[in-house]
Structure 1
Amino acid sequence: MVCSVCDLPRVVATGYDGLLPWFLRHASRSIYALRMHVGSVHVLGGLPMSDASHRLVSILGANPFFAGFEQDALEKIAAVCRQRRLAAREILFLKGDAGDGLYAIRRGLIRIGTVDDLGQQMTMNVLGGGDVFGEITLLDGQSRTADAVAMEDTDMFFLPRQDFLSLLNREPPMALQLIDLLCARLRDVIGRLEETTFLPSAIRLARRILVLAADYGTDVHASQEELASLTGVTRETVNRHLQSWKRTGIISLGRGRVLIRDIDDLRRLAKVDAA
């Protein structure tokens, strides 16, 4: 997960008493989809959760947010979830909307993001089948810190906040697991700040592409504008690096996509070990 870190150095200077609240406010920011019309969110009422509960339990159990929970706890969570469906380009929620729960993607793609004070698009990530988002608002109930938009027809599960809090009251080990999650997210924020501060743009871009490839395969569907926002550089810088890598046969380029042809060379550019 990526979030805005422009004010993190100032917050870090206040110590962890200041850092944790900042993290809780910003840790769930991911991608932005600009100028899209709000569509209806369809609740699939009348469908018994038992028809999809096995898939939901599998999604939850594979996600760090719930990975330490016992099977019985996961089944209890699945029992209070609802199914929702979005058409391509529908908006699930907007920045500032009430944070009423968590989403788990069954199939499809969701883009999450925001816009800075100058109106510039801040693209952070793309979430697909098996991904979970909205963890922070599930816990603190504050308004959404980003927009969520379906990139294609998408089926999801929705976990209402009040139902989850009731489960936490009955299952204290869940609360301990969430503390571990927040610590991991905080480490991720700090690690990304270090990358932005110290690493050259080519290394950062190569690493972002590899992260996307690890989740969605070597055919990475992301525009140069999105890669620029992910990496914290300009679109021109992204284009320069991509064209250079294309000439050397590491990648090929299409409209809104990057196809990795030599992942070992890309790993060398990113200065990371092979998985």
Structure 2
Amino acid sequence: MTREALTTTRPREPRRFARGDVLLFPGPADGVWQLLDGLARVQTVDADGNGLTLRYVKPGDFFGEESLVGGRRDYFVEAVSGVTVARWRVDELDDALREALLASFARTTADLYRSLRRWSGKRLKARVAAELLALTDTPLASCDEHAPTVVHVTHDDLAAAVGSVRETVTKLLGELQRSGAVVVGYGKVTLVDPASLRSFADGAQHGGVADGEAQNTVPMRNPNTPPRLRSLKP
């Protein structure tokens, strides 16, 4: 079942959130949620209040799955763009919704496996390149067959997605720009040479900042503090 098909399940009390709104906070599970449009991200935070992106939620995807087992939520969900969501109580899930949930979980698991491979086996520059390529399949990307794809993402958000800090990601983006793979702008990255960027993502090209210098290794604490709002600075 495709993500487009998943969004055809009947919504219950759809709600609209603006970019930057926090949809869910850590706490008791309160139902299963589905993203109907836009883009959201599941985040946790470190001791300084910096967000660490665990996964992106795309249209048709579900979150809040801990409700199925009566678990407690230990993450935030933030709207990356304007979003519409629907919520169901567990006892409202009919066969069609359960099938949609299963398909969504299978897709999410596959995405998480790919993310784990990036984190465990690749240098930070490769993870940044892979993250930019992954974002081309989200509402953050502007695609035109006659122009390069533009990903509207800040350096802060890229750092949260790859487990690093803004300063290091800025340096790595500069290296990717000097290689001719991307052009870095204000709050956006233009993918001028996707083949070269994929080569970096696959680890075929090396060099640059070592992982040990790049990762944000501050232990996570205070999990009930929301991620601090990010500026639009690149």
Identify the residue that residue 71 of structure 2 maps to in structure 1: 142
Give CA-to-partner distance per residue, 1:112-142, whole Å, 9 cap, x none.
31213554321344445x2423152352242
2:127 aligned with 1:204: yes
Give CA-to-partner distance per residue, 1:190-211, whole Å, 9 cap, x none.
5433432221111111111100
Counterpart residue identity of residue 2, structure 2: A
2:99 aligned with 1:174: yes
In structure 2, distance between residues paired with 1:100 and 1:255: 38
Superposed counterparts of 1:78-89, under 5 Å: 78=10, 81-89=12-20
Residue 153 (structure 1) shift: 3.5
Q: Is the 8 A contact 1:104 1:158 kept in 2?
A: no
Superposed counterparts of 1:264-275, under 5 Å: 264-271=195-202
* Aligned partner of residue 175 in structure 2, secondary structure: helix
2:26 aligned with 1:101: no
Task: Name which of 160, 164, 168 aligns with 2:89.
Answer: 160
Give CA-to-partner distance per residue, 1:122-181, whole Å, 9 cap, x none.
1344445x24231523522423332223344432333332201xx24xx79839x83x76
Higher relative contact order (CA 8 A, sep 6+): 2
Q: Is the 8 A contact 2:39 2:138 kept in 1?
A: no
Task: Name which of 160, 181, 190 aligns with 1:229.
Answer: 160
Identify the residue that residue 247 of structure 1 maps to in structure 2: 178
Q: Which has the larger radius of gyration?
A: 1
Change in CA separation of 1:133 and 1:261 when aligned onto 2, cut-off 3 Å: same
Quick one: percent identity of the two aligned structures? 24
Q: Is the 8 A contact 1:99 1:143 kept in 2?
A: no
Q: Is the 8 A contact 2:23 2:78 kept in 1?
A: yes
Counterpart residue identity of residue 115, structure 1: V
Residue 110 (structure 1) shift: 2.6
What is the TM-score with the length of structure 1 in the denominator?
0.58
Q: What is the aligned length? A: 195
What stretches of structure 2 of length at least 5 have no aligned partner?
Answer: 142-148, 204-234
Which one has a larger percent helix, Structure 1 or Structure 2?
Answer: 1
2:37 aligned with 1:114: no
In structure 2, distance between residues paired with 1:173 and 1:146: 23
Counterpart residue identity of residue 42, structure 2: I
Give CA-to-partner distance per residue, 1:40-72, whole Å, 9 cap, x none.
xxxxxxxxxxxxxxxxxxxxx5239x86xxxxx
What is the TM-score with the length of structure 2 in the denominator?
0.67
Counterpart residue identity of residue 43, structure 2: G
Residue 85 (structure 1) shift: 1.5
Residue 245 (structure 1) shift: 1.7
What stretches of structure 1 of length at least 5 have no aligned partner?
Answer: 1-60, 68-73
Residue 187 (structure 1) shift: 5.4
In structure 2, distance between residues paired with 1:251 and 1:198: 23
Q: Is the 8 A contact 1:94 1:148 kept in 2?
A: yes
